[in-house]
Structure 1
Amino acid sequence: MLLWATGLQADEDDLVLIANPSVETHQLNRDTARAMFAMRQRTWPDGQAARVFVLPNDDQSHERFVKQFLNVYPHQLQMAWDRVVFSGTGQAPTQVDTEAQMLEQVASTPGGIGYIEKKHLDDRVNVIPLD
């Protein structure tokens, strides 16, 4: 578990980046993942349209994912979403309320990408490691 007050961090291995089985990309670099979640890159590296799913900004898993995997703060990611929405150049990602909904949406949406705690993982999605 992440302990903000003491500065201790949870093991990054308790969260995983997940994708719909239709996605042919088997690894992402951190910059590409950040661009996809910031809604600046709308396709997977193989050209397939990406559908991004996120948990609410105040969700602990969301906070940990954004900081540990994307190396940004949740408010920075929110500002990026606001910028594309207000400029009319794109949409914000689809927000789901729980990790169970995240798993269901990514599993059932071609091109879907999201994140969950490893304990919720099942064989309906693929894990995408970051290099």
Structure 2
Amino acid sequence: MVIAGPAMASDDESTVVLVAHVDVETQRLTRDTTRALFAMRQRSWPDGMAVRVFVLDNNHPVHARFAKERLGVYPHQLQLAWDRMVFSGTGQAPMRAFTQPDMLERLATTPGALGYLEREYLDDRVQVIAIE
């Protein structure tokens, strides 16, 4: 029998996970597809529904952790990709959430929404999407 200590529990809660609106049918995404969605190169879910991407500010520690740990890129690399699309007129940047509770609210109320949260902020209004 393994007993989780406080450090394990808090590490688990602070894990940053990919989160979507409950109506999104997709349950799993590859890292490459997830990266394409957050780089705003892919604009729809596999079933054709439009993706509405939400991110925290570039300086937010959870944004940095998500970009590095889940996408394998640095936040400034994402920002460069967004800036390039906006300035060239070929796309737009994701929508910004100000805090994790704000992110939760936006993900819960926006059909097709995709974002990320630490596990402690999850509730039954959103779903976790696995990254393979």
Verify same fold: TM over 0.5: yes
Aligned to 2:119: 118
In structure 2, C-alpha distance between the alignment counterparts of 1:116 and 1:93, rounded to whole Å = 16
In structure 1, C-alpha distance between the alignment counterparts of 2:57 and 2:13, rounded to whole Å = 19
Structure 2 unpaired stretches of 5+: 1-10
Aligned to 1:97: 98
Structure 1 unpaired stretches of 5+: 1-9
Higher strand share: 2
Greater CA radius of gyration, 1 or 2? 2
Aligned to 1:50: 51
CA contact (8 A) 1:20 1:125 kept: yes
Query: Residue 28 of structure 2 aligns to a residue in which SS?
Result: coil
Aligned sequence identity (%): 61
RMSD: 1.4
Aligned to 1:21: 22
| Moved segments of 4+, more than 6 Å | 10-13
Distance 1:13 1:117, change over 3 A: closer
Q: One-letter code of the match for 1:51?
A: R
1:46: Cα distance to partner?
A: 1.5
Q: One-letter code of the match for 2:129?
A: I
Aligned residues: 122
Distance 1:12 1:30, change over 3 A: farther
Q: Normalising to structure 1: TM-score of the pair? A: 0.90
CA contact (8 A) 1:20 1:107 kept: yes
